[in-house]
Chains A and B, each alone.
Chain A
Amino acid sequence: MDNNFLVIENISKSFGDNKVLENINLNISKSEFFGLLGSSGSGKTTLLRILGGFEKPDTGRVMLDGTDITNLEPFERPLNYMFQSYALFPHLNVFNNLAFGIKENFTQKEIEINVRNIAELLSIEHLLNRRIKQLSGGEQQRVALGRCLIKKPKLLLLDEPLAALDKKLRSKTQLELTTLQKKLKITFVFVTHDQEEAMSLSDRMAIMKNGLILECSSPEEIYENPKSLFTANFIGIANIIEIYKKGENFYSDDLGINFKLNKELKNTKTNILLRPEKIKIQSINNLKTSSFNSFSGEILEKSYLGSFTRYEIKIKNMIISVLDQNFNSNTNYNFPKGEKVICSWESESIKVLED
């Protein structure tokens, strides 16, 4: 796979005294669905706007398919940008919105054919004569997508593509978007503040904070093996525990128990991550706690989530979250509030956070 389809090199950008992006480097492959995840103010949208040509970076350059596009105007770039607000033209109907970008270089007949094809692809053939105001949010999203795709861009940039949709429509559209992207093999780069959206759409994703990329990897890798404390907390539910070297093993003052790791550590003191679904929860009658990687605690809170039950378990000074799969329908898994339970985990499940 061509790993250098889109190369972002040393991009920095400031607005006045405000450093929005600091030395961003990214390599994105052809046909990749790439996500930029961060909270507001992380610089993710500015990065996307630099790719779109709406902002000029202070330093660095952007290479697309071997050509330097850093100083090209938006209308000279072989890519398209889908706005969060969709930015559909209110004075034109759906047909003319779709045809907007190809009117110049195509004959009337070619325009007709292209618009029909793209409308068919997105199942919006029946909307072609509608005005933009007569469309629902989901329909507008499709028109905005179609208006970009009709230009057959090398790269499609999407700013919060699903944010304006309601929750039910969002998950449906999510699936459609990934299917579409795999079918068309166009490189997609999108921005989101929603971690679920980022995880379900992306082949790879970058976590951004304060103008920096903290981590860039597949969603699985970022969830299972986050490198930083921020990422661990940002993605999913995280139990973060501080441990330090004590004899053979490690010890946590907060929990008052021993940890056994299956690898050596550089530092004597470190944070570890324990995902809630990696923790096994058992009735205290069945067994005793072992001398490491296990503790007994009391169930403080419990919320039934359908396929899972989430428990908040109190032990010493800490509250540990545990997700227990509702595996079968009899009750040996379903612990009431206030019950004493034993929690345990495999030593492979302990992830060491480097900073």
Chain B
Amino acid sequence: MKNKLFEKYFVFSPYFWLVLFFFIPLAIIFKISISVSEWGMPPYQDIFLFDNGFKINTTFENYVYIFSDYYYIGSFVNSLILALISTFFCLLIGFPLAFYIATSNIRLRNILLVLVVIPFWSSFLLRVYAWKIILQNNGILNVILLNLGITSEPLQLLYNQYAVIMGIVYTYLPLMILPLYGYLNKFDLNLIEASKDLGLNRIKTFFKVILPLSVPGIVAGSLLVFIPVVGEFIIPEMLGGSDRLYYGKILWEEFFVNRNWPGASALALSGIIILVLPIVIFQILYSRWSQKNEI
């Protein structure tokens, strides 16, 4: 009987993990987000006051503050656009690569997969910093361009949104390639030949056969890139300029520079809700659709 009990709790251990490391921190953030801010340590008041009898001391001011200032909403919109563009480019580069890897012979396939994964073994910070060296005014790229006579003076490649997009696409590409590869690996190549045999050329075969059958991989890879990019802080900080503010940076500043913990918490929670709700709804609809279509 004791064993049974153990088994029962063992099965639930992922939920304990989820509660301990996800729901409790989330609850704490929620608590801070509805607290009244003040100067001090911690920089907010308790939500339950007992000194003059029991009193609940909460406010939604922080949320009102965030949603009434376009500074915050705008940065969130900027981050969403950045995530969309980056995901699109990751898909554009990642799909042909994943397809090529999945259809090449087993030896070449393993080598290519290792090449995809290798960057993960070096420091993320160093890799982004390396791009700084490549893109800066007297960096490798500019030196080459100058020597080839393509430009007469160094181009400003760094510290703008394009450098940010490039850095993100570079960093997140494996997260797109690997799930796509996982799906394309199982792809029956006879289906491509059958499509061609039935009269469809390469482009039509791609859109009528390969693409519809890769939807699960595309969805998985895109979500894996899109979600973390919305909150991405380091890459815009290192490669970006002052032309655009992003959500992750604003959040950091609100918390550490302005020491507005309740405001930062409200911002974080709003971001999660705005981002997660549509994705959850999408996932439910998508799983229904894919069950119906048996992909």
CB within 8 Å of B: which residues of A? Answer: 52-54, 73-75, 77, 80-81, 83, 85, 87-91, 100-101, 104, 131, 133, 147-148, 151
Residues of A within 8 A of B188 (CB): 85, 87
Q: Which B residues lie at the A interface, using CB under 8 A?
A: 188, 190-191, 193-201, 204, 208-209, 212-213, 293-295
Inter-chain contact B201/A87, CB cutoff 8 Å: no
Q: A73-B201, A85-B190, A131-B294 are in contact. Are A91 and B212 (CB under 8 A)?
A: yes
Residues of B within 8 A of A89 (CB): 191, 194-195, 209, 213
Chain A residues with Cβ below 8 Å from B201 are 73, 75
Which B residue sits closest to A133, measured CB to CB? B294
Residue among A73, A80, A91 making CB contact with B213, cutoff 8 Å = A91
Knowing A89-B209, A91-B295, the reply to whether A80 touches B197 (Cβ < 8 A) is yes
Residue pair B194, A151 in contact (C-beta under 8 Å): no
Query: SS class of chain A's interface: helix, strand, loop or mixed?
Result: loop
Decide if B197 touches A90 in the complex (CB within 8 Å): no
A147 B198 Cβ-Cβ under 8 A: yes
Closest beta carbon of chain A to B209's beta carbon, Å: 6
CB distance from B17 to the nearest CB of A (A): 36
Query: What total of A-B pairs shows CB separation below 8 Å?
Result: 63
CB distance from A66 to the nearest CB of B (A): 21
14 A-B residue pairings within 8 Å (CB atoms) = A54-B193, A75-B197, A83-B190, A83-B194, A88-B194, A89-B191, A89-B195, A89-B213, A90-B213, A90-B294, A91-B213, A91-B293, A101-B200, A148-B197
A133 to B191, CA, bound (A): 15
Top 9 closest pairs, chain A to chain B, by CB: A101-B198, A87-B190, A87-B194, A74-B196, A81-B197, A75-B196, A74-B197, A91-B212, A83-B190
CA distance A151 to B193 in the complex (A): 16
CB distance from B158 to the nearest CB of A (A): 44
A contact residues around B294 at 8 Å (CB): 90-91, 131, 133
A81–B193 touching, CB < 8 Å: yes
Nearest B residue (CB) for A78? B199
Interface contact B193-A74, CB-CB below 8 Å: yes
* A residues less than 8 Å from B199 (CB atoms): 75, 101, 104, 151
Residue among A74, A77, A88 with the highest chain B CB neighbour number at 10 A? A74
